[in-house]
Amino acid sequence: MLEILTTTLLVAGLAGCLAAPLGILLGYWMARSEFPGKSVVETLIALPLTLPPTAIGYLLLVLFSRGGLLGNWSPGFLFTWKAAVLSAAVMALPLVARTARAAFAEVDPRLELMGRSSGLGSLAVFQRITLPLARRGLLAACLLGFGRAMGEFGATVIVAGIIPGETETLSLAIFQEIQLGNSAGALQLVAIATLLSFLLVWTTERLLRRRASS
C-alpha cells in the first residue's frame, strides 16, 4: 500500500513538475499573444482533455517504440516510471495551461505596461508583476495538474504498464485489484484516492475563491 502511494505521489509530482512550467508558459502565451490561427493552436493544446486517454497513450507508444520518431533517441523508455511520468504530464498539461491562461487573463495588461514604462524589461515585468498577481490562479493550475496526473490511467497503462514499485499508481492499482477480484483491496485504495482528491480539490477551490475575492 505504501509502495503504491509513494509511486503515485512520485509519478504525479514529477509529472506536475514537468507540466507546470510548460503549462504556465503556454497559458501566458495564450493569454497575451494574438496571431492568425490562434484558436486552432489552442484547440490542439486542449485536445488531450477530450481525446480518449488510450488514444494519447497509443500515440505515445508509437512515438517511443523502436522505429518511432523518438524511439531511437530514448531506447528502453517505454514501460518504465519515466514513461508513466511523461504520459501523466501530457494528460495534465492542457488542464494546467488552460487554468494558467485564465489566471493570466485576469491580470490587467496595463499593469504590465506600467512596469515597462517604469523601466522594467519584459522578463522583469513577468517576474515582478505578472507572476505575483496571477500566483493564486497558477498555484491552483499546478494543483489541478497534479490531481489530473494522480488520477491518470488510460495513457499510462498503455505506455508504462502496471509494474509494482515502478509504474503501479493508485488508479492502476485499483484496476488491478478489481481484475483480481479483490474488492476489499480496491475499496481501500478508492478510499485513499478519494481522500487525496478531496484535499486537492478543496485546496484548489479555496485558492480560486480567494483569488476571486481579492
Partner 1 sequence: MIAFDVQLQQGRFLLDVQWQSQARCLGICGPSGSGKSSLLEALAGWRTPRRLNLRLDAFSVPSAQIPPERRELGYVPQDGLLWPHLCVRENLALGCANPQLAQRTVAVLGIEALLERLPADLSGGERQRVALARAIARQPRALLLDEPLGALDAGLRRRILPYLARVGEEFRIPTLFVSHDPAEVLALCDEMVLLEAGRIVRGGPPAVLLREQDSVLGAFENIFHGEVVQADEGTALLQLAEGGQVSVAARGIQVGERVLFSIRSDEILVALERPTRISARNVLPAVVIAVVEEGNAGVRVDARLDEGRGALLSAVLSAAAVRELGLSAGAELYLIFKANSCRLFTSQP
Q: How many residues bind partner 1 (CB under 8 A)?
A: 16
Q: Any contact of residue 32 with partner 1 (CB under 8 A)?
A: no
Burial bucket for residue 60 (CB in 10 Å: 0-12, 13-18, 19+): buried
Q: Any contact of residue 117 with partner 1 (CB under 8 A)?
A: yes
Per-residue string for binding with partner 1, 131-170, x by CB under 8 A?
Answer: -xx-------------------------------------
Cβ neighbours of residue 60 closer than 8 Å, sequence gap 6 or more: 83, 86, 87, 90, 155, 158, 159
Query: Taking contact as CB under 8 A, which single stretch among the options 14-22, 128-136, 184-192, 195-203 is the one that binds partner 1?
Result: 128-136
- Give the Cα separation of 45 and 24 in Å (integer): 13
Please pick, from the candidates 21, 76, 121, 165, the single residue that binds partner 1 as defined by CB under 8 A: 121
DSSP for residue 194: H
Q: Any contact of residue 33 with partner 1 (CB under 8 A)?
A: no
Q: Any contact of residue 195 with partner 1 (CB under 8 A)?
A: no
- Give the Cα separation of 106 and 22 in Å (integer): 19
Query: Taking contact as CB under 8 A, which single stretch among the options 45-53, 90-98, 110-118, 180-188 is the one that binds partner 1?
Result: 110-118
Other CB atoms within 10 Å distance of the CB of residue 9: 15
DSSP for residue 51: S
- Cα–Cα distances (Å) from 36 to 30, 39, 41, 196, in that order, read 12, 8, 10, 41
Q: Any contact of residue 110 with partner 1 (CB under 8 A)?
A: yes
Measured from the CB atom, the residue of 112 and 166 that comes closer to partner 1 is 112
Angle, CA 200 vertex, CA 194 and CA 206 arms, to 5°: 130
Measured from the CB atom, the residue of 182 and 210 that comes closer to partner 1 is 210
Measured from the CB atom, the residue of 114 and 212 that comes closer to partner 1 is 114
Least separation in angstroms between residue 116's CB and partner 1 is 4
Least separation in angstroms between residue 142's CB and partner 1 is 19
The site for partner 1 (CB under 8 A) is made up of 108, 110-111, 113-121, 128-129, 132-133
